[in-house]
Amino acid sequence: MELMDIQRDNKVILQHNVITSGRYDYSACMLDILFMVLSSLEKDKQEYNVHVQDIEAITGRKWNLKQLREATENIGSRMFEIETSERIRQMWLFEYVDYIKGTGSFTVKISETARPYFFELKNNFTAMQLKSVLDCSSKYAKRLYGIACQWRSVGTKRFEIKELKEILGLIDKKGNEQFERISDFKKFVLDIARNQISENTDIELDYELKKRGREFYWVTLHINSQKFKQMEIDFNKPLELQKYKADLMAYGFNEEQADLIAEKESRKDFEILITDLNLKIQKKKLSVKNSIGYLVGVYQKKGILPNKN
C-alpha cells in the first residue's frame, strides 16, 4: 500500500462563520478557489499562490486557464455581503489576481477589508476538510457542507426556506427566485447536495421539509458527523499545532499517538518522512501492507511512541 500524502488529501481548513453563512452566489469553480486560499492561510500573509495541478490532483477534474480567469473575474465583480447584529457589510474578497505565465498557477491577494474574516477565527469558525469540499461538484453541496460543518455539534439546523435560498444566492436583490417550485428546489439543490455530501465528505446529511399552512415553509438539516471525529479546538494551544494533530488523526493515528508525534516532531519532519517512504515504495525498495502500522513502528523506533507488548 502506498503511503498517503496527508497535506493534499486531509487538509483541514477553517472558515469564518460569516463566510459560511454569508449571502453570495459563487459557482463551484469560484468556491474551489476560495477554499484553496483558505487552506493556505498563514498569519501576516495576504498573497497566496494556487497551483492548478494541486486542485486537479485532489478533485480529479481538469481546469483550464479560460475557466479560471472567468471564475476569478466573477469573484472580483461580485459583492460579498455579511450581516452582523450591528451592520450589513458589502465587500470584495480579493484585491487582485495575478496569472503567472507558464507556471500553471495564479496569485491571489486578500483585500484588507476582508482580511479579518479570513484570520479572526478564534471564536467563530467552521472546520472543514479540504478534499471533502473540493470533491463535491455542486456549488450548493459545497455551501451546504460548510453550513453542516458549522452546525455539526448541534446535529440539526432549521431555516426558513426563503432564508436558506437567500444564503445560497437563489434569491437576488430584486426578489427574483430560482427553483421557485419546491419540487425543483428538492431535485436540483437539496437532493444533489445531500447525496454528494453523504458520499464524499465526513458528514452524512439529510433534510426534512415542514409546512406552515398549505405551503412548505421550513427546511431542517439533519447532520450526522460520526463518520470521522471532528477536530476540537483548544484555544490554550497554538492553532497550527492542533491542525497538525488533526491531520495526523485523519491519516490514521489515534489521538494519543497524534499528541505525542505533534509534540515531539515537526510537521516538516513528518512530511520529509512520508516523502522518503513514498519514494522507496515507488522504487520498490520497500513494501508496506499496512501504512499506519508501519509508521507506528517507525515512531516507536525513534522513541516518540511507546512500545506496547
Query: What rounded mean pLDDT belongs to the chain?
Result: 78
Provide the greatest CA pair distance for the chain: 69
Q: How far apart are CA 303 and CA 309, in angstroms?
A: 15
% of the chain at pLDDT higher than 70: 79
What is residue 230's predicted lDDT score, i.e. its pLDDT?
A: 43
pLDDT tens, 98-140?
A: 998 888 888 999 888 888 777 654 344 455 666 677 778 888 9
Domain positions in the chain: 1-135, 136-229, 239-301
**pLDDT band of 62, cuts 50, 70, 90:** confident
> Which of 64, 47, 44, 42 is CA-nearest to residue 55?
64
- Give the pairing type, strands 125-129 and 12-16: antiparallel
pLDDT exceeds cutoff 50 at 245:
yes
| SS3 call for 222 | strand
What CATH class has 136-229? mainly alpha
State pTM to two decimals. Answer: 0.48
* pLDDT number for residue 308: 64
Decide if 108 contacts 33 (C-beta within 8 A). Answer: yes
Residue 153, pLDDT score: 72
pLDDT for 180 = 92
What is the CB-side half-sphere exposure of residue 228 using CA atoms within 13 A?
23
Would you state the cell numbers that stand for residue 260, as one nine-digit string?
505525542
Q: What gap in Å lies between CA 206 and CA 194, rounded to an integer?
A: 6
* CATH code given to domain 1-135: 1.10.10.10
Domain 1-135 shares a fold with domain 136-229 = yes
Cβ atoms within 10 Å of 209's Cβ, excluding its own: 14
pLDDT tens digits, 194-242? 999 888 887 889 999 999 989 999 999 998 865 544 444 444 556 677 7
Phi, psi of 86, rounded to the nearest 5 degrees = -100, -30
Stretch 274-301: mean pLDDT: 79
C-alpha cell at 69: 480567469
Closest CA to 37 of 134, 179, 147, 123: 134
Position 102, amino acid: G
Beta strand pairing call for 105-110 and 47-51: antiparallel
Q: Which H or E element spans position 12?
A: strand 12-16
pLDDT band at 9 (very low <50, low <70, confident <90, very high): very low
